Chain A
């Protein structure tokens, strides 16, 4: 309970689902051998933290930001540029972290102080403009960022796939630098999510919820809401940059498509909505569903289409053809928003009887 900051999942099914996801992620290197499974698991970890940080903004303060991938990109590029320029050593990793995190926080502070004192739509527009400018800047400063090609780099010796830490033993498993990197991603993502859970359950988190509900009422109680919103914006930016660092370390690459693209922003929005806004746990569920669907739906449809074809069924093989996977992915998301308007977490909590204690009316 302490580790969850007194905010348990409040639904048996949700608890079970979360335990299964976390155990499956932790055991991926040993349960699901192969590069793809490990890549998917690492991406789920990174995105769970990234989406949780966005949930702090959207779900807890009601602020719509389009600059979240920018902070994610700042983290990615900081570590990539440092490791590319200084070589594959721990000093470069430390430099990337020391430069990337404060840079993201400072930019979030500037955006927040400039735009959070006015209407929410203004904040959304400013973040959109700043994120677009940053994307152009990253592409233009090719001497630093590698332009459209991005930056590939090598990791320190300890984290390289060729580094064998525990040789193949009795159970046939080998622990190498790649697996160590995966556990680094897993552990840091988990720590960031737990830290966010602590933040939203602190008195500060309650003020954020009050601001989300009615900003003027919160001000009438004496809260300087601009500072609270700006602080939340900085915290979210820090975690997003942290997720960006982890992503770059995992991919050994940072580029516009993997770190700054607006399609990532849309993915984050979908994940937070599917999982359930204002819950933090929704980030884990949303990221898992989305990334699993993104990676395995096409293959699954191939199998289903082939089976339908062999069974001689009309229409179905064509409808389930793997080339149409994006159509089905879209339909799946529309259905999930329709059937789970409060997200999967909201629905499971509601079904589990968490409707708020009743009062006499």
Chain B
């Protein structure tokens, strides 16, 4: 399986803080790679650096073999990278429809894709013409993910999609992400919910202090309780 995304020796500074301290990672095509780690380990900064929202101070980032570390965020998005930031990032003054039309950017909405999305998130159909700001937290997260998948993307960067959601919504969200995975999407997913991580992940990367401290298969980490405790300070079993 070839690598769609590769980071080699990536450093990122935010002000005087040295956040990413030489990240090396690869995201294989058609797989879900989980990015785990404690709070403040640098997971969100990694996604934002890939997206060009923070400029890497050194190192190489390549997408499909093409260097992207000096490209602007809109250029990276137009190369086919979809980004779902944490905290239910919708445009709250716009309607659900307008949010999705914006995400489709250069063309009309694909009806087939829209129906597929409505299949997972029926609330979006119900509140089609409502302002996104009036949606509940779970509905906003659904809209945020729908916006990233309304158009075919080469790579999806998703930051803690289950954060702050009710358990029932989390289950629906996991089902949706599994379906996206089955369709062959390549995903780099930051997640604190280990149940979700185990359900979705093919591979896993664990970060600490701005570096990757572990890489391997998700199933292997899920089965190794001492390793989980050493890397993450807690075990998957405790989260079920």
Contact = CB atoms under 8 A, between A and B. Distances in A.
Interface stretch (A91-99, A171-179, A210-218): A210-218
15 contacts: A206-B98, A206-B101, A206-B102, A209-B91, A210-B94, A210-B102, A219-B72, A221-B102, A221-B147, A223-B74, A223-B105, A224-B74, A357-B129, A357-B130, A358-B134
A212 B93 CA distance: 10
Contact of A203 (B51, B73, B101): B101
A225 B72 CA distance: 11
A210 B61 CA distance: 28
B74 A217 contact: no
Contacts of B125: none
B127 interface: yes
Contacts of B112: none
Contacts of B53: 216, 219-220
B127 A359 contact: yes
Given A221-B77, A223-B74, A357-B127, A214 B91 contact: yes
B136 interface: yes
B131 interface: yes
Interface string A251-276: 00000000000000000000000000
B105 A209 contact: no
B139 interface: yes
Nearest to B78: A222
Interface string A347-361: 000000001111111
B135 interface: yes
> Which among A213, A220, A359 has the greatest number of chain B C-beta atoms within 10 A?
A220
A197 B51 CA distance: 34
Nearest to A210: B91
Given A359-B136, A359-B139, A361-B136, A222 B91 contact: no
Interface in A274-325: none
B90 to A, nearest CB: 9
Contacts of A207: 102
A212 B92 CA distance: 11
B83 interface: yes
A359 B90 CA distance: 15
Contacts, number: 74
> Which among B53, B72, B91, B101 has the greatest number of chain A C-beta atoms within 10 A?
B91
B161 interface: no
Contacts of A357: 127, 129-131, 134
A216 B73 contact: yes
| Interface range, B side | 20 to 34
Contact of A359 (B78, B85, B94, B134): B134
Contacts of B94: 206, 209-210, 213
Interface in B95-116: 98, 101-103, 105
A360 B126 CA distance: 10
A359 B93 contact: no
A359 to B, nearest CB: 5
B133 interface: yes
A220 B83 contact: yes
A75 to B, nearest CB: 31
B130 A359 contact: yes
A288 to B, nearest CB: 26
A214 B89 contact: yes
Nearest to B135: A359
Nearest to A117: B72
Interface in B26-72: 51, 53, 72
B136 A220 contact: no
B106 to A, nearest CB: 9
A222 B72 CA distance: 9
B88 to A, nearest CB: 11
Nearest to B84: A220
A356 B78 contact: no
A222 B77 contact: yes
A221 B98 CA distance: 13
B187 to A, nearest CB: 16
The 8 residue pairs across chains A and B that have the minimum distance between CB atoms: A222-B77, A356-B131, A357-B130, A219-B73, A356-B134, A361-B136, A220-B83, A222-B78
B73 A213 contact: no
A53 B127 CA distance: 32
Contacts of A213: 91-94
A361 B123 CA distance: 11
A217 B85 contact: yes
A185 B93 CA distance: 34
B133 A356 contact: yes
A167 B123 CA distance: 66
Nearest to A361: B136
A118 to B, nearest CB: 14
A217 B77 contact: no
Given A213-B92, A214-B91, A222-B105, 14 more contacts: A209-B91, A209-B94, A210-B91, A213-B93, A219-B53, A219-B73, A220-B83, A222-B74, A355-B134, A357-B127, A357-B131, A359-B127, A359-B130, A359-B136
